Amino acid sequence: MPLMHFALGDRLRLRKPHPCGSYDWEVVRLGADIGLRCEKCGRRVLLPRSEVERRVKQVLPKQPPSDDDSDYEDQ
Ligand SMILES: [Zn+2]
């Protein structure tokens, strides 16, 4: 199994959808446990790294900053 590397702000696509219907989560905390925030409903969960690695289908890199598309994700 390849070792997955996560960074704050990375977006993870999971194998199963959240009950709200979204597959995509953002990494909001790193450590022995990984904090994820659902991109659709904003719910946060804390999962052991091994659990996250089992559930992730794809790691989506951070969106590069662009001038013509300003979004304020901190809010
Ligand atoms: Zn959700």
Q: Where are the alpha helices (DSSP H) in the chain?
A: 49-55
- Expressed in angstroms and rounded, the spacing between residue 17 Cα and the centre of ligand 1 is 8
pLDDT per residue as tens digits for the range 57-70: 999 877 666 666 55
Q: pTM to 2 decimals?
A: 0.76
pLDDT per residue as tens digits for the range 15-65: 999 999 999 999 999 988 999 999 999 999 999 999 999 999 999 877 666
Residue with tokens 């013509």: 68
Using an 8 Å Cβ cutoff, are 41 and 20 in contact? yes
Query: Which residues surround the ion ligand 1 when the cut-off is CB under 5 Å?
Result: 18, 20, 22, 38, 40-41
Using an 8 Å Cβ cutoff, are 12 and 59 in contact? yes
Residue type, 7: A
Q: Count CA atoms within 13 Å of residue 49 on its CB side.
A: 10
